[in-house]
Amino acid sequence: MSDINNAEPKTKECGYLYLTITALLIAIFSAGLTLMIASYMYHGSYEPFELPPEVTTSNVKRMIVSHKKVILFKIEAKNRCYILPSTMSKEIAFSKFSFVNSALTKELLLDVADYEGVEFCGSTPAYILEKSKPQQ
- Strand, coil or helix: 89: helix
pLDDT tens per residue, range 43-79: 555 555 565 555 555 578 888 888 888 888 888 777 8
Where do the domains of the chain lie? 1-42, 46-131
- Residue 136: which of 13, 2, 43 has the closest Cα? 43
Burial label for 84, CB within 10 Å (0-12, 13-18, 19+), is buried
Asked which of 12-26, 50-64, 74-88 is least confident by mean pLDDT, the reply is 50-64
Where residue 30 falls among pLDDT bands split at 50, 70, 90?
very high
Mark residue 43 as left, alpha or beta (left: phi above 0; alpha: psi -120 to 50; beta: remaining): alpha
Q: Do residues 95 and 67 make contact, with C-beta atoms less than 8 angstroms apart? A: no
